[in-house]
């Protein structure tokens, strides 16, 4: 009896296997007959309430991000947290060592909080920043950020750029659907006008291809990919000479320091508990030669006498050590070519003079705008529809980006010394206007800090400075010469700010609601 039961059980197992095999064969035949490749499986993934389709054979990810600097790493974490499969390709995943990108304004810190990345400024010896101190011709004034209506943790932060980036990379890599890979992207893969992915060399030197319905280029100020995605008009108004002063005190701790020197500004701010970053602006595209000692001589004879006395000894000692670095300051307005399947972000897309430390604030704000636009979309494969929809990104980013860009460009030109009497008066008027305190300092500082992204407010304050300068010239008794200088002051102020506004886009900057893309609804 036991033998019969064993035989019956084996027979039933064989019959079950045959029926199962026949079911799968018939199902695949049906798929082939319907024009569906059985080797491609389509499934639905639901994360945090979001469901999307996934094409496992063609696409390596939902989004490819080129570059893992501040913009790329923050974007990878943000999109990965929203459930997207993100592949990040970065040329060098070791800790960066840069002399800029070390000051995050309070408005940028608010965006960091919005993106859930505020802990990235912890455990890196970051320093709180509560405002600025201005120095000119032996006078100084302190300007505080208007933080009264914000949480106590809200302030600016200054730090080593590389430490901040590594913290964001680490946080992004902890998300299971985010993959960070070291590789050098050489080109975008284009098919019938649509970007399908990238070609790159991996760490071993092998040429690879990666595919995704959306490729976001964040490869920084020296981007070699931006040419096909925007109209790059890069200007280099000056260079920064960077030094680190050790074991000395700033005149106003927890403040950035701006010295209105001749020929151009000098910056100081603390980047750790023992280090102070000094950035000496040198107009033009070249600095004095390092090899023959010209740069060292320039710093000791021209720059050192103009900086606050508390910092002079440490400054000269640092110059004598010879650890001096230089970097060109680049400015480039955002001039995108909307391209299906691709998007530019960060310094690859838009740059401004780093005098005001606004670059990271703009990048983080852009990420918040893009995240909100992509959040309702379950599938990114309809490239042309997605491209049309994302045109609203370029308008929605304008309040923050254009305010910070315009302010950076205008302030740099006002703060630079000039032989022109009208420009000298504008510079003096700006310092004295900010020294008045109250609304006269709070307004401009709230613009500078990213807390008040209102372009119209910027224009009002800029011309208020010019009018204040003219009033000083005409009182108590106007003279023909002073009236002429006043007229040239107004003309010069217009010549500074209007070209910047034109490059930013008057309509997008001041009347964004009149741009059709402002109202684009998410595609069904």
DSSP 354: G
Q: Which residues pair with 187 in a beta bridge?
A: 199
Inter-residue contact 268 to 278 (CB < 8 Å):
yes
The Cα 346–Cα 363 span in angstroms is: 5
Does residue 55 carry a pLDDT above 60? no
Give the model's pLDDT for residue 58: 66
Q: Is there a single domain that holds both residue 430 and residue 451?
A: yes
- In the chain, % of residues over pLDDT 70: 89
Q: Is there a single domain that holds both residue 68 and residue 216?
A: yes
The Cα 256–Cα 218 span in angstroms is: 28
Q: Is there a single domain that holds both residue 336 and residue 218?
A: yes
- Determine the angle formed by the axes of helices 421-435 and 398-415, rounding to 10 degrees: 120
Give the model's pLDDT for residue 520: 85
In a domain, 461, yes or no: yes
User: What mean pLDDT do residues 73-83 have?
Assistant: 97
Does residue 482 carry a pLDDT above 80? yes
Give the confidence band of 52 by pLDDT, cuts at 50, 70, 90. very low
User: What mean pLDDT do residues 311-326 have?
Assistant: 95
Q: Is there a single domain that holds both residue 228 and residue 244?
A: no
Does residue 261 carry a pLDDT above 80? yes
Give the confidence band of 92 by pLDDT, cuts at 50, 70, 90. very high
Give the confidence band of 41 by pLDDT, cuts at 50, 70, 90. very low
In a domain, 394, yes or no: no
User: What mean pLDDT do residues 192-202 have?
Assistant: 96
Give the model's pLDDT for residue 59: 80
- Determine the angle formed by the axes of helices 106-114 and 359-374, rounding to 10 degrees: 30
Does residue 279 carry a pLDDT above 90? yes
Q: Which tops the pLDDT comparison, 511 or 29?
A: 511
Give the model's pLDDT for residue 71: 98
Q: What is the largest CA-CA distance in the chain?
A: 126
Q: Which residues, other chains included, contact 391 with Cβ-Cβ below 8 Å and sequence gap of 6+?
A: 338, 517, 520
Does residue 12 carry a pLDDT above 80? no
Structural domain harbouring 259: 235-328
Q: Is there a single domain that holds both residue 317 and residue 341?
A: no
Q: Where do the DSSP E strands lie in 230-324?
A: 235-246, 256-259, 266-270, 275-283
pLDDT tens-digit profile of 98-130? 999 999 999 999 999 999 999 999 999 999 999
The Cα 261–Cα 393 span in angstroms is: 39
- In the chain, % of residues over pLDDT 90: 84
The Cα 243–Cα 453 span in angstroms is: 31
User: What mean pLDDT do residues 230-258 have?
Assistant: 96
In a domain, 101, yes or no: yes
The Cα 273–Cα 179 span in angstroms is: 34
In a domain, 356, yes or no: yes
User: What mean pLDDT do residues 464-470 have?
Assistant: 97
Give the model's pLDDT for residue 143: 97
Q: Which two tokens stand for residue 281?
A: 């602006």
Q: Which two tokens stand for residue 54?
A: 């996934």
Q: Is there a single domain that holds both residue 316 and residue 336?
A: no
CATH number at residue 337: 3.50.50.60
User: What mean pLDDT do residues 447-463 have?
Assistant: 95
Q: Is there a single domain that holds both residue 225 and residue 242?
A: no
**Of 348, 365, 381, which closes a domain?**
381
In a domain, 99, yes or no: yes
Number of domains into which the chain is organized: 3
Does residue 189 carry a pLDDT above 60? yes
Q: Which two tokens stand for residue 33?
A: 């007959």
Q: Is there a single domain that holds both residue 439 and residue 486?
A: yes
Q: Is there a single domain that holds both residue 352 and residue 370?
A: yes
pTM attached to this predicted model: 0.87
Q: Is there a single domain that holds both residue 374 and residue 263?
A: no
Does residue 1 carry a pLDDT above 80? no
In a domain, 102, yes or no: yes
Average pLDDT, the chain: 89
Give the model's pLDDT for residue 8: 39
Question: Phi, psi at residue 270, to the nearest 5°?
Answer: -80, 135
Q: Is there a single domain that holds both residue 314 and residue 192?
A: no
CATH number at residue 313: 3.30.70
In a domain, 441, yes or no: yes
The Cα 68–Cα 61 span in angstroms is: 16
Q: Which residues, other chains included, contact 265 with Cβ-Cβ below 8 Å and sequence gap of 6+?
A: 258, 259, 281, 355, 412, 415, 416
Q: Which tops the pLDDT comparison, 491 or 30?
A: 491
Give the confidence band of 196 by pLDDT, cuts at 50, 70, 90. very high
3-state helix, strand, coil in the chain (%, to 5): 45, 25, 35
Does residue 310 carry a pLDDT above 60? yes
The Cα 91–Cα 203 span in angstroms is: 9
In a domain, 240, yes or no: yes
Q: Is there a single domain that holds both residue 230 and residue 284?
A: no
Give the confidence band of 247 by pLDDT, cuts at 50, 70, 90. confident
Give the model's pLDDT for residue 2: 37
């Amino acid at each position: 009896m036991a033998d019969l039961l064993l035989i019956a059980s084996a027979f039933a197992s064989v019959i079950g296997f045959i029926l199962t095999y026949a079911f799968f064969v018939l199902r695949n035949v049906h798929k082939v007959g319907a024009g569906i490749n059985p080797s491609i499986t389509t499934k639905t993934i639901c994360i945090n309430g979001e469901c999307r389709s996934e094409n496992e054979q063609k696409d390596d990810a939902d989004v490819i991000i080129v570059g893992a600097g501040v913009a790329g790493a923050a974007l990878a974490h943000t999109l990965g947290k929203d459930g997207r499969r993100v592949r990040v390709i970065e040329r060098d995943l070791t800790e960066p060592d840069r002399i800029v990108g070390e000051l995050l304004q309070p408005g940028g810190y608010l965006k960091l909080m919005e993106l859930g990345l505020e802990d990235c400024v912890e455990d890196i010896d970051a320093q709180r920043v509560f405002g600025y101190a201005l120095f000119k011709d032996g006078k100084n004034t302190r300007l505080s950020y208007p933080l009264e209506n914000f949480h106590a943790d809200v302030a600016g932060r200054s730090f080593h750029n590389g430490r901040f980036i590594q913290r964001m990379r680490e946080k992004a890599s902890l998300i299971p659907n985010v993959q960070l890979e070291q590789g050098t992207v050489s080109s975008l893969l284009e098919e019938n006008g649509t970007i399908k992915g990238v070609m790159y060399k991996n760490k071993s030197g092998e040429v690879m291809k990666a595919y995704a319905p959306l490729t976001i280029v964040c490869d920084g100020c020296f981007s070699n990919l931006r040419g096909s995605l925007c109209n790059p008009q890069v200007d280099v108004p000056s260079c920064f000479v960077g030094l680190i002063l050790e074991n000395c005190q700033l005149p106003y701790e927890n403040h950035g320091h701006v010295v209105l020197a001749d020929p151009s500004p000098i910056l100081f701010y603390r980047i750790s508990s023992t280090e102070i970053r000094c950035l000496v602006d040198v107009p033009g595209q070249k600095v004095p030669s390092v090899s023959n000692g010209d740069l060292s001589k320039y710093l000791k004879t021209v720059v050192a006498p103009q900086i606050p006395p508390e910092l002079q000894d440490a400054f000269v000692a640092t110059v004598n050590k010879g650890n001096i670095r230089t970097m060109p300051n680049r400015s480039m307005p955002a001039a995108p070519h909307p391209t299906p399947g691709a998007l530019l972000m960060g310094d690859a897309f838009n740059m401004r003079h780093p005098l005001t430390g606004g670059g990271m604030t703009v990048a983080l704000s852009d990420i918040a705008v893009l995240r909100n636009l992509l959040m309702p979309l379950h599938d990114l494969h309809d490239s042309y529809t997605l491209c049309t929809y994302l045109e609203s990104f370029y308008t929605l980013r304008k309040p923050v980006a254009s305010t910070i860009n315009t302010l950076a460009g205008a302030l740099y030109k006002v703060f630079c010394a000039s032989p022109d009497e009208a420009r000298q008066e504008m510079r003096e008027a700006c310092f004295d206007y900010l020294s008045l305190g109250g609304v006269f300092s709070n307004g401009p500082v709230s613009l500078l800090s990213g807390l008040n992204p209102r372009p119209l407010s910027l224009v009002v304050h800029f011309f208020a400075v010019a009018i204040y300068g003219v009033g000083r010239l005409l009182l108590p008794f106007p003279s023909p010469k002073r009236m002429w200088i006043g007229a040239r002051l107004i003309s010069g102020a217009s010549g500074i700010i209007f070209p910047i506004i034109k490059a930013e886009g008057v309509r997008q900057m001041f009347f964004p609601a009149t741009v059709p893309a402002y109202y684009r609804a998410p595609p069904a």
